[in-house]
Structure 1
Amino acid sequence: MSEVVTALVTMGLVVAAGWLIQARGWLPHGSREILATVCFSIASPCLLLATVAHADLGTLASRGAAVTWGTSLALAGVLVVIARWGMRLPAGRATITALSGSYVNAGNLGLPLAVYLFGDALAVVPTMLVQLLVMAPVAFGVLGRAADATPLPIAASRVRDDGDAPVRKGAVASAILNPLTLATLAGLVLALLPWSIPEAALEPFSLVGAAAPPLALLTLGMSLAKDVRMADAPVGPGEDGGMGAGLAGSRGLAAPLGLAIAARAVVHPALTWLVGSLAGLEGTALTMVVAMAALPTAQNVVVYANRYRCSVDVASRACVATTALCGPVLVVVSAVA
Structure 2
Amino acid sequence: MEIIGTVAQVVAPVFLLAAIGFAWIKAGYEYRIEFVTTLAMTLSVPCLIFVALMESEVDPDALKSTFMASVAAYGAVTVAFVILVKLFKLEMRSFLAPLIFGNTGNLGLPLALFAFGEEGLGHAVIIFAVMAVYSFSVGVWMVSGGGSPLKAIKEPLVWATILGAIFMVMGWRTPEWLTNSIRLVGQIAIPIMLITLGVALARLRAPTLGRAFVLSTVKYVICIAVAVVIGLMFELGPVAFAVLVVQIATPVAVTSYLLAQKYGADADEVAGLVVASTLMSIAVLPLILGFLMA
Does structure 2 retain, via aligned residues, the 8 Å contact 1:72–1:102?
yes
Tell me, in whole angstroms, the C-alpha distance in 2 between the residues paired with 1:272 and 1:25. 40
Return closer, same or farther for 1:60/1:72 CA change in 2, 3 Å cut-off.
same
Does structure 2 retain, via aligned residues, the 8 Å contact 1:99–1:301?
yes
Name the structure 2 match of 1:152: none
> Does 2:206 align with 1:231?
yes
Tell me, in whole angstroms, the C-alpha distance in 2 between the residues paired with 1:194 and 1:14. 35
Give the secondary structure class of the aligned counterpart of 1:7. helix
Name the structure 2 match of 1:58: 61
Q: Deviations over 1:108-137 (max 9, x none)?
A: 222222222222332322322332333542
Does structure 1 retain, via aligned residues, the 8 Å contact 2:63–2:123?
no
From 7, 23, 31, the counterpart of 2:26? 23
Q: CA deviation at 1:189?
A: 3.0
> Does 2:10 align with 1:7?
yes
Does structure 2 retain, via aligned residues, the 8 Å contact 1:52–1:184?
yes
Does structure 1 retain, via aligned residues, the 8 Å contact 2:97–2:256?
yes
From 265, 268, 282, the counterpart of 1:327? 282
Return closer, same or farther for 1:67/1:179 CA change in 2, 3 Å cut-off.
same
Name the structure 1 match of 2:187: 210
Q: Over aligned residues, Cα RMSD in angstroms?
A: 2.6
Could you list the runs of 4 or more consecutive aligned residues of structure 1 that deviate by over 6 angstroms after TM superposition?
none
- Any gaps of 5 or more consecutive residues in structure 1? 147-169, 233-249
State the TM-score, normalizing by the size of structure 1. 0.75
Does structure 1 retain, via aligned residues, the 8 Å contact 2:97–2:143?
no
From 79, 82, 94, the counterpart of 1:80? 82
Return closer, same or farther for 1:182/1:259 CA change in 2, 3 Å cut-off.
farther
Name the structure 1 match of 2:126: 126
- Any gaps of 5 or more consecutive residues in structure 2? none
Which residues in structure 2 correspond to 1:9-158 (within 5 Å)? 9-26=12-29, 28=30, 30-55=31-56, 56-62=59-65, 64-84=66-86, 86-89=87-90, 93-120=91-118, 121-145=121-145
Return closer, same or farther for 1:296/1:40 CA change in 2, 3 Å cut-off.
same
Name the structure 2 match of 1:272: 227
Q: CA deviation at 1:308?
A: 1.8
Q: CA deviation at 1:212?
A: 1.4
Tell me, in whole angstroms, the C-alpha distance in 2 between the residues paired with 1:95 and 1:191. 38
Does structure 1 retain, via aligned residues, the 8 Å contact 2:92–2:142?
no
State the TM-score, normalizing by the size of structure 2. 0.85
Decide which structure has greater helix share: 2
Q: In the comparison of the two structures, how many residue pairs are matched?
A: 285
Larger radius of gyration: 1
